[in-house]
Amino acid sequence: MIREQVYGRRAVREALRGHREVLELWVTERALGAEGWLRDVPGLRVQIKPDRALNGAAGTPDHQGVLAWCTVYPYADAYELAVEPSPLRARFTPTQMHTNWPLSRARCSSASTR
> Are the C-beta atoms of residues 45 and 100 closer than 8 Å to each other?
no
- For residues 111 and 3, the model is more confident at 3
Query: Which tens digits make up the pLDDT trace of 66-92?
Result: 999 999 888 877 777 777 776 566 665
Cα–Cα distance, 95 to 103 (Å, whole number): 13
Same-domain pairing of 61 and 97: no
Answer yes or no: is 34 within a domain.
yes
Answer yes or no: is 45 within a domain.
yes
Q: Which residues contact 92 (CB under 8 A, 6 or more apart)?
A: 101, 106
- Pick from 78, 31, 79, 104: which is nearest to 12 by CA? 31
The dihedral formed by the CA atoms of 52, 46, 10 and 14, expressed in degrees to the nearest 10: 140
Same-domain pairing of 87 and 63: no
Cα–Cα–Cα angle for 86, 92, 95, rounded to 5 degrees? 165
Same-domain pairing of 44 and 87: no
Average pLDDT over residues 29-57: 91
Residue 3 scores a pLDDT above 60: yes
Please report which confidence band the pLDDT of residue 95 belongs to, taking 50, 70 and 90 as the band edges. Answer: low
- Pick from 25, 29, 30: which is nearest to 12 by CA? 25
Answer yes or no: is 21 within a domain.
yes
- Domain region containing 96: 81-110
The residue type at 29 = E
Residue 101 scores a pLDDT above 60: no
Please report which confidence band the pLDDT of residue 19 belongs to, taking 50, 70 and 90 as the band edges. Answer: confident
Query: How much is the pLDDT for 45?
Result: 86
Give, rounded to a whole angstrom, the gap between the first and last alpha carbons of the chain.
44
Answer yes or no: is 76 within a domain.
no
> Are the C-beta atoms of residues 45 and 36 closer than 8 Å to each other?
no
Average pLDDT over residues 9-35: 92
Query: How much is the pLDDT for 91?
Result: 62
